Chains A and B, each alone.
Chain A
Amino acid sequence: GESVGLHLPTLSVQEGDNSIINCAYSNSASDYFIWYKQESGKGPQFIIDIRSNMDKRQGQRVTVLLNKTVKHLSLQIAATQPGDSAVYFCAEMRRTSGTYKYIFGTGTRLKVLA
């Protein structure tokens, strides 16, 4: 199985409830903030991103909130399902000198309880 995330913070949520996963970022110059989902044994999968000039963005069952004042990013998952169980990473992306620079957080494990 996947050895990543042995010491990750874990959020346990009852199936059907809403989940909120939080992330603090460091670089005020980042252009985008991104959430990835990583299931056991797989590569990270893009969920949703938000540009730095926005406060909120909604996708299908997911909402990302950006609070630039306190450098805080959150991912809200509505009506959490067993398939949402995974490790969730936030990342910052900045365009610089013709390339992209990504910085990843360490991740939060979401466990959905039946």
Chain B
Amino acid sequence: EAQLVESGGGLVQPGGSLRLSCAASGFTSSSYAMSWVRQAPGRGLEWVSGISKSGNKYDVDSVKGRFTISRDNSKNTLYLQMSSLRAEDTAVYFCAKGYTTYDGVFDIWGHGTLVTVS
């Protein structure tokens, strides 16, 4: 069964850094596009960063220059390196797997990891 498990969230001060991890099992994550999507407390979903199967990377403007998405194929793991964190980055961060060959459609999601910037 395909599964994603995020880790690395926690409490960090404004201006600090954090690295989120997303371990994939039951499938080879390098064969799919992968993304990070966040949800602030009581709010809607916001796509943050994505990486295509070929390695192209995309970010929402609000995190450009501060967040970096990457993947370690040998560990079947996706990462989000976050720096210069702001209060408005406080959210549950989900990683999500692309649906077959469809970039931007997500069929498997992790349970999320909470990042609190305060």
Same complex for A and B? Answer no
Q: CB within 8 Å of A: which residues of B?
A: none
Q: CB within 8 Å of B: which residues of A?
A: none
